[in-house]
Structures are given as structure tokens and as C-alpha cells.
């Protein structure tokens, strides 16, 4: 699928247009990047950070998502997205992006395309196996190797958000979908296993971070309960940041927990060029 989305990418070194020849992606300035045999393209400008998902974390994520426990979240974002180009930043295995593209493809005969970016090579390897998706190893904070104004929808689910970059890659009528946990999300699991809590004031900070580039277009809350089997619980804890500092001890009994998340929808602000050549969001 990389061949179908390379025209949407830009060189991480010089921001030049990228083209694919054989198994190599390059720009006119001579920068070259090899496509891995698993299908992903590494456009990181440096080594992956210590927070990148490991192979074990990705395996846990795949196993947990296969249970369908997060399928309602995928359905929620799929109904809010529009295409034909969708970018998921911090995509992991691109579970949510795949749901969006499947829904968009079912309603049109035109091609739909997705770009999944993640700092983890292991996550991108999994994402590259999905149809209609090009997987790119990239750091959201360092700048996305994606051309200006090409994304109809930008998606961030439980992932870092760089709104300046999201605004740059968003089409003029583009939108950004952000899913964040509410304070009660997985409360029973957090309490039982002493996991990290949801930060207070998280939603207010989200809106403040976005307001320079985006207009808040509303939100939708999703609440439901799931019954976790012991294996589900181990995969759930193992697939996220808690895996770096805790282990799923005492997971030999099923546990009912609550899923509570919020989907925020943002539309891009229009930017007006001023007399001095600067741009201002309006």
C-alpha cells in the first residue's frame, strides 16, 4: 500500500516531494529511505525513543483488540470521519484507521487511502499488513513527514497530539478527531492493579492546546462495561504505557470494568495572510 500513499509524503530532511522507485523512497535532493520487507517505511530523523512500543506490547495490543472490547470506540470514530485521505498519528497497529477506511470504502467507488504513523517499528509492521494503509515510522512531536493540506481527517486515539502539525497536514475543510479517556475509564482495572490514573483537567488542556489552530466542533461521550477474562486483562495492561513499570499480577479472575472515553471533533481554522506576510487564524 506504500506505493499508493507515497505522493502524500514529504522528505523528513528537506520537506521535498518523495517518490518510490523499486524498494527505495527518495527526493530530488538525494535523500533516500529504504522500505522494509514487511512493508513499512522508516522516516524517523533519529532513533526511536524509549517510549516506543516493543514487540511484546504490540503482540498484546493485537490480542486485546481482537476481542472486540474496543470495537464501539472504532465505530464511533468511523462514523465521524470523512475521506478520501485519513491520517492516524500514533496509530499503533492502525486498528481505528482500518475501521474508518472500511466504512468509507463501503460507501463509495472512489479509492480511500490511509497513512498510519507511529514511533514504533513493531507497530508499523502490523499496520502495514492492512489494506488501504501505508505505514510510516515517524515521531509526531518531531514533525510528520506528510505534505501540507492533504488529510481530510486526522485521527488521534489515546496518542500524543501535535496540533500545529495536524493543522499543517489538514485540508482546508479537514477535521481532527481526538479520543481521550474520561476519569472513570478502566477505573476498576486501575484501582485493582494500581495503574496510572487519568490526569485531572485533561479535557480543558486538550481544548486549550487546539484552539490556536482549530475550532471545537463538539464532542461525544461513550460509556459501556466489558467483562475481562484473565488473558484479556494481561493483554490490556501489557499493551499500554503501564507495561513499562508494572505487571498484571493476580489476573486469574475475570473482572468487569467500565470504558468511558470522549471523542472531540475539531475543524481547521481558516488562515488569513496579513499585510506583513504573516498568517493569522480566523
Q: Which residues contact 39 (CB under 8 A, 6 or more apart)?
A: 1, 2, 125, 128, 129, 135
Domain annotation covers residue 187: yes
Which pLDDT score, from 0 to 100, does residue 30 have? 95
Domain annotation covers residue 44: yes
Domain annotation covers residue 5: no
* Grid cell for residue 280: 493569522
Distance CA 75, CA 235 (A): 21
Which pLDDT score, from 0 to 100, does residue 47 have? 76
Which residue range(s) make up the domain with 70? 39-281
Which pLDDT score, from 0 to 100, does residue 240 have? 85
Return the CATH number at 49: 3.40.50.150
Domain annotation covers residue 6: no
Number of domains in the chain: 1
Which pLDDT score, from 0 to 100, does residue 2 have? 84
Distance CA 36, CA 80 (A): 33
* Grid cell for residue 226: 466489558
Which pLDDT score, from 0 to 100, does residue 205 have? 94
Which pLDDT score, from 0 to 100, does residue 1 have? 78
Cα–Cα distances (Å) from 17 to 3, 83, 146, 147, 230, in that order, read 14, 22, 9, 8, 48
Domain annotation covers residue 3: no
Domain annotation covers residue 75: yes
DSSP state of 258: E
Distance CA 250, CA 138 (A): 36
Which pLDDT score, from 0 to 100, does residue 242 have? 73
Domain annotation covers residue 79: yes
* Grid cell for residue 110: 472512489
Domain annotation covers residue 85: yes
Write the secondary structure of 156-209 as one string of H (helix), E (strand) and C (coil). Answer: EECCCCCHHHHHHHEEEEEEEEEEEECCCCCHHHHHHHCCCCCCCCHHHHHHHH
Encode the chain (282 residues) as per-residue pLDDT tens digits.
Answer: 788 999 999 999 999 999 998 889 999 999 999 888 999 999 998 777 778 999 999 999 999 999 999 999 999 999 999 999 999 999 999 999 999 999 999 987 789 999 999 999 999 999 999 999 999 999 999 999 999 999 999 999 999 999 999 999 999 999 999 999 999 999 999 988 878 777 778 889 999 999 999 999 999 999 999 999 999 999 999 998 776 655 555 567 899 999 999 999 999 997 654 355 444 555
Which pLDDT score, from 0 to 100, does residue 27 have? 95
Amino acid at each position: 500500500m506504500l506505493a499508493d500513499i507515497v505522493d502524500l509524503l514529504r522528505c523528513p530532511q528537506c520537506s521535498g516531494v518523495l517518490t518510490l522507485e523499486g524498494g527505495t523512497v527518495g527526493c530530488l535532493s538525494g535523500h533516500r529511505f529504504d522500505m522494509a520487507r514487511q512493508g513499512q517505511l522508516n522516516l524517523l530523523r533519529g532513533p526511536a525513543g524509549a517510549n516506543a512500543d516493543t514487540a511484546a506490547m504490540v503482540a498484546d495490543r493485537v490480542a486485546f483488540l481482537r476481542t472486540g472490547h474496543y470495537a464501539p470506540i472504532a465505530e464511533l470514530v468511523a462514523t465521524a470521519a470523512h475521506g478520501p485521505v485519513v491520517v492516524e498519528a500514533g496509530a499503533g497497529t492502525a486498528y481505528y484507521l482500518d475501521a474508518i477506511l472500511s466504512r468509507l470504502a463501503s460507501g463509495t467507488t472512489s479509492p480511500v487511502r490511509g497513512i498510519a504513523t507511529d514511533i514504533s517499528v513493531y507497530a508499523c509492521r502490523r499496520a502495514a499488513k492492512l489494506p488501504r494503509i501505508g505505514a510510516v515510522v515517524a515521531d509526531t512531536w518531531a514533525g510528520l513527514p506528510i505534505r501540507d493540506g492533504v488529510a481530510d481527517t486526522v485521527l488521534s486515539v489515546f496518542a500524543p497530539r501535535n496540533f500545529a502539525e495536524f493543522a499543517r497536514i489538514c485540508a482546508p475543510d479537514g477535521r481532527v478527531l481526538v479520543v481521550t479517556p474520561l476519569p472513570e475509564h478502566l477505573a476498576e482495572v486501575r484501582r485493582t492493579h494500581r495503574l496510572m490514573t487519568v490526569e485531572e483537567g485533561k479535557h480543558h488542556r486538550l481544548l486549550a492546546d487546539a484552539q490556536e489552530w482549530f475550532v471545537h466542533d463538539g464532542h461525544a461521550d461513550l460509556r459501556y462495561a466489558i467483562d475481562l477474562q484473565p488473558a484479556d486483562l494481561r493483554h490490556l495492561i501489557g499493551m499500554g504505557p503501564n507495561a513499562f513499570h508494572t505487571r498484571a499480577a493476580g489476573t486469574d479472575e475475570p473482572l468487569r470494568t467500565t470504558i468511558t472515553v470522549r471523542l472531540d471533533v475539531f475543524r481547521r481554522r481558516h488562515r488569513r495572510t496579513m499585510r506583513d506576510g504573516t498568517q493569522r487564524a480566523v
